[in-house]
Amino acid sequence: MGIGSWFLGIDVIDSHCHIAGPEFVQDLAAVIDRARRAKLTHALVILAADDAAEVAQGQRVAHAWDAVRFSIGVHPHAAGKFAGNPADAAKAVDAVIAEEPLARACGEIGLDYHYDFAPREVQQQVFREQIRLAKRRRLPIVIHTREAEDDTFRILDEETATDIGGVFHCFTGDRAMGQRVLDIGFHISLAGIVTFPRALELKEVAKMVPLDRLLIETDSPFLAPVPHRGSRNEPANVVRVAEAIAELRGDEPESIGEAARRNFERLFAP
């Protein structure tokens, strides 16, 4: 697939990417150039508050690309570092937010019971502390949840996270879970998985999300969409996600891109 296919003329956004990570240090300028040519107007770049190299690289990314806004958090995979002191996770996030004028969200935060890299109890405590921080900072939250649906919704409810709202990133649940997300006023962000032939249930979710709750993302460097599957993903590929959703809904890619851009601007106030 050549670069020519990116010239669709539609404005798009990437609601979730990790381009301050080590995978993009070598050719960052080229990645940003392709994203610009793909007409990305905004990108939410995730910074892990516990990763000093990524936070430092975030500065270079922001200088190179004015479309960038940041979401800062401690990922559930890293929650184990804060066992016994979960409040320290929120403190680390707060310190990075305080230094970062482009911070627009707290995340990604949540629960991952698929990998279970940190004990579940610790993941939950670190998740809670960061929701509380986001409420103090009045920032929306970017949620990562995998095989932890009930605990995720229980904690969001107990912490009254609906006050700040946010997004379930890289949504992979079924329609019933999608409805739970919509019922609490959160947004659903779809990634390249929606282009995978076997993701049948997710394709149904893509049809049911109201346009004013839909976001699109790459989760770069992960999850390259068809036909790039298996290679490093990058923000320009979000066009494929918009196209796939449009095709499923019998809609135009332009209206998907436009809706996602509007939702991004409302949620992350760029």
Binding site for Zn ion (CB under 5 A): 108, 144, 219
Integer angstrom CA distances of residue 203 from 126, 141, 195, 207, 244: 32, 24, 8, 7, 9
Q: Which is nearer to Zn ion, 144 or 240 (CB)?
A: 144
145 beta partners: 111
DSSP H stretches of helix in the chain: 28-37, 52-64, 86-99, 120-137, 149-158, 175-183, 200-208, 238-249, 253-268
C-beta of 37: minimal distance to Zn ion in Å? Answer: 24
Report d(CA 230, CA 106) in Å as an integer. 29
Query: Please, what is the minimum distance in Å from the beta carbon of residue 18 to Zn ion?
Result: 6
Which is it for strands 40-48 and 141-146: parallel, antiparallel or unpaired? unpaired
Nearest distance from C-beta of residue 16 to Zn ion, angstroms: 6
Rounded least distance, CB 147 to Zn ion, Å? 13
